[in-house]
Chains A and B, each alone.
Chain A
Amino acid sequence: NAGVTQTPKFQVLKTGQSMTLQCAQDMNHEYMSWYRQDPGMGLRLIHYSVGAGITDQGEVPNGYNVSRSTTEDFPLRLLSAAPSQTSVYFCASSYSNSRYGYTFGSGTRLTVV
């Protein structure tokens, strides 16, 4: 079992560029989430999904888009990168509601210059 796989691990973007952070899980989990981690801020929820075709916004959704066409994949799109989006991004998945906890990927470190 690979668990939750995130690609790429590192990325440098120029301001205004767009990109997609990939997230895939092989555990047949219905719930998936994207978080960003910034020093002293903990993890903040960007977007989440409770199943294929169903997504919703979290605490800090501005500047990010998501879609969920399959159970396995939950990509995060940065439409026009800004330096404020420099962060470490984590994807996580869970079998059902939050009582089961979430399994996290190893993260993507993004720098926007």
Chain B
Amino acid sequence: AQSVTQPDIHITVSEGASLELRCNYSYGATPYLFWYVQSPGQGLQLLLKYFSGDTLVQGIKGFEAEFKRSQSSFNLRKPSVHWSDAAEYFCAVGADSGYALNFGKGTSLLVTP
């Protein structure tokens, strides 16, 4: 079964600084990979997804992620963080034969002035 690890529970960055959130997955074949963002008291919004093709995917709100098969990783990046990016970020993995997503435990992002 596929699984997801987000090694960082909390991350603090200064506004304007770059951001990288880590995600490692475990799955035998090429997985479907997703990043979701959750603002306080809100549902989950899809930032971006990867299932084939170009390993660098662009998403909404200026985010991008890179799929690295050799490292079993799908890290999320943003070149310049805005205060409004403060939220909880979840990495998720799915499979071609799967009916739902498996989520990591999330990374909480704090943005300081």
Contacts and interface: CB of A to CB of B under 8 A. Distances in A.
A101 interface: yes
A40 interface: yes
A104 B44 contact: yes
B97 interface: yes
Interface string A41-61: 111110010100000101000
A43 B90 contact: yes
Interface residues of A, number: 25
Nearest to A105: B43
Contacts of B94: 97-99, 101
Interface of A is mostly: strand
A45 B101 CA distance: 8
A56 B51 contact: no
A106 interface: yes
A58 B100 contact: yes
Interface string A102-113: 111111000000
A42 B95 CA distance: 19
Contacts, number: 66
Interface in B42-56: 42-46, 49, 51
Main secondary structure of the interface of B (DSSP, over half): loop
B34 interface: yes
A98 B90 contact: no
Contacts of A44: 103
Nearest to A58: B100
B11 to A, nearest CB: 15
B96 A97 contact: yes
Given A40-B105, A48-B99, A48-B100, A98 B43 contact: no
Contact of A106 (B36, B42, B102, B106): B42
Interface of A: 31, 33, 35, 40-45, 48, 50, 56, 58, 90, 92, 97-99, 101-107
6 interchain residue pairs of minimum CB distance: A98-B94, A42-B105, A43-B103, A104-B44, A106-B43, A104-B43
